[in-house]
Amino acid sequence: MARDLYRAIHKAMRADLFEVSALIASTDFGEAGELSGLRERFGGLAGAMQHHAEVEDSRIHPLARAVAPDVVAAIETEHVSLEAELSALGDELSAIEAGDGSWEPAHRLYLRFNRFLAGYLLHIDREERELVPAMSALDGSVLDAVAHEDYEGPVAGLVAAVGAMLPLFNADDRRQIVEDIRAVRSDEEFALVAEAGAAALGPAGWARLMA
């Protein structure tokens, strides 16, 4: 099967988007502590989404442009509009004052965020339906090298990411992630990843994955 650079990360992003949507819906905007927690969680989501778009633009699109230039151009245009809307949502959230006595600003934000979510789901669906098949024509070793870059940063960050993300994925996704990590990390570093994986999945779950 051809390498899919989008499948796992898009699953994680969908989970993040739905989680933030539910948090906006349930936050008591009259409570300063809850509003602060929502702002922090939204900021984490926004940072992750901006980083993901930058990775696509700098590492994936230069390769994909050789096989699907029109699709890449459309996706990069969508990146600009989606990032602008995400920034506007952050500004709107920052402008809401705790305890102002009105439910309307919170509800407007909730509706606007879910319109953004709907547009973003269509965006990543386009990447999966149009770019992934086109990129299957590229050299598999080149795509493997791009995938491996995701696991070459500081080991502490990788350990934290593995612990948070592995439960989101099915067995096939988990095996691919573990294989990619093994390809770029030392035995000592992989032992730290394995410890985090066992904590996240349970010892039996990790053992099944590694069997």
Residues 6+ apart with CB under 8 A from 121: 14, 17
Is residue 145 situated within a structural domain? no
134 half-sphere exposure, CB direction, 13 A CA radius = 18
Q: How many domains does the chain have?
A: 2
Task: Give the model confidence (pLDDT) of 8-62 as tens digits.
Answer: 999 999 999 999 999 999 999 989 999 999 999 999 999 999 999 999 999 999 9
Q: Are residues 60 and 81 in the same domain?
A: yes
Q: Which of 141, 142, 122, 120 is nearest to 130 (CA)?
A: 122
Q: How far apart are CA 132 and CA 85, in angstroms?
A: 26
Q: Are residues 93 and 171 in the same domain?
A: no
Q: Are residues 119 and 40 in the same domain?
A: yes
**Where is the domain boundary, 82, 103, 138?**
138
Q: Are residues 105 and 195 in the same domain?
A: no
The burial of 127, by beta-carbon neighbours within 10 Å (0-12 exposed, 13-18 middle, 19 or more buried), is given as buried
Domain that holds residue 186: 151-210
Q: Are residues 156 and 119 in the same domain?
A: no
pLDDT value of position 145: 94
Q: Are residues 168 and 81 in the same domain?
A: no
Asked whether the beta carbons of 180 and 8 are under 8 A apart, the reply is no
Q: Are residues 110 and 170 in the same domain?
A: no
Q: Are residues 43 and 131 in the same domain?
A: yes
Task: Give the model confidence (pLDDT) of 147-163 as tens digits.
Answer: 999 999 899 999 999 99
Is residue 32 situated within a structural domain? yes
C-alpha distances out from residue 174 to 54, 163, 180, Å: 24, 12, 10
Q: Are residues 60 and 120 in the same domain?
A: yes
